[in-house]
Structure 1
């Protein structure tokens, strides 16, 4: 179920990744970023970084990275929709009611149809050229 872009942007704005991750990981400020031991693999030196400006995280030890939704998916072992629901509930936001954004699928269908028409045209042209020779 794709969520409207506006809803996801608002959810990410209300879900501060530093605040959320700090409830799972002991974080320390390192310049503009936050650093701690990665919750996704065992390590002795901190390689888990939170980039507060972009609202993302990355672990240089195991390669895990993403945004706040990805973090919740990994740490809570949830799928995408469940992670969005988890964060929406935490942020006090209501989930959108069956709002299916099908603009991308409509565009995809228009592109497929244009490609089909082009294929028909070139096929017919090739057949007519073959008949003339």
Structure 2
């Protein structure tokens, strides 16, 4: 049988499945053409120029240097020292794409976005911190001057939730 004619025979795979099979078998894809992956031939010792190609859909391999041909099963058997049945199972296991990102994102609960705060409310809370006796004691106890508090707009709240809630309720936001 002519080895070049054999290139059009073979099983039907997806391009992503073949890409995963090659990666799992230790074959690096050097270039990607429209219908083929270009790889180094695993059947001879040329590691300077990639001379092998694997069809993205049939999984058939052909080397232009040594004229070796193989289907995807033979290629997996040769590159990863698997038996025929192990190779078939391995290829079959790569059929379903396990997209970790979509799996995780589907399980995550999307948090609600924070509404934008009115700067007038933020400034009011800040001004309250400047006049609060405990806030002043807190800052002076830490050797933070009033100038630093104003410059860096430092805030203080003993009961943060209650202070914010009372301020927001007075503005009829909550």
TM-score of the aligned structures, taking structure 2 as reference length: 0.38
- The structure whose RCO (Cα within 8 Å, separation 6+) is larger is 1
Provide TM-score, normalisation by structure 1.
0.48
Larger Rg: 2
